[in-house]
């Protein structure tokens, strides 16, 4: 017989984790929109919100791991089981509940990964644009690195400023 209290505890932690991941997806989308708008003044705030939520999410992951280990012991599984393994071993209605949690978590994780990649692309483009602008203004040589870690110096840039005034 499965202890309903332990399975309920696991389900509650999974609900909390889902809510936090949804909030993370939202905050990443806000960060992406800030980057896309070019209004980087708000980027620090958006990033801080994400970092704060990630700290809370790490604590929730520890709770989930403990609750999953307790559920695994009741179901006769080894510690640190996957959510899919827990769902397969659990009787109804927990089988369906855990499977639904897993499907939702996978979908949210996919959404987060896509949004993160878009934001990363925007950050990279912004960095390149800022770098090119600074190089055009300053006319200095720059150094970058190859995949092997060696320094490659670019040719000096021409000045765009008329310094004769």
pLDDT at 119: 77
pLDDT at 44: 86
Give the number of other Cβ atoms within 10 Å of residue 162's Cβ: 6
- Find out if CATH 3.90.930 is the number for domain 4-153: no
Q: What is the pTM of this model?
A: 0.72
pLDDT at 159: 47
Within the chain, which residues score under 70 in pLDDT?
Answer: 1-2, 123, 125-165
Give the N- to C-terminal CA distance of the chain in Å, as an integer.
88
- What is the CA 90 to chain-centroid distance, rounded? 30
Give the number of other Cβ atoms within 10 Å of residue 113's Cβ: 12
């Amino acid at each position: 017989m499965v202890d309903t209290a332990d399975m309920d505890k696991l389900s509650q932690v999974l609900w909390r984790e889902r809510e936090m991941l949804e909030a993370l997806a939202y905050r990443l989308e806000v960060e992406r929109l800030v980057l896309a708008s070019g209004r980087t003044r708000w980027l620090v705030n958006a990033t801080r919100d994400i970092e704060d939520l990630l700290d809370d999410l790490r604590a929730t992951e520890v709770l989930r791991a403990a609750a999953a280990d307790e559920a695994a012991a009741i179901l006769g599984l080894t510690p640190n089981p996957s959510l899919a393994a827990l769902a397969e071993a659990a009787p109804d209605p927990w089988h369906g509940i855990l499977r639904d949690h897993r499907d939702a978590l996978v979908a949210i994780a996919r959404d987060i990964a896509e949004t993160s990649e878009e934001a990363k692309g925007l950050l990279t483009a912004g960095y390149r644009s800022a770098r090119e602008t600074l190089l055009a203004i300053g006319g200095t040589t720059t150094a970058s690195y190859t995949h092997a870690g060696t320094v490659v110096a670019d040719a000096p840039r021409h000045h765009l400023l008329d310094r004769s005034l």
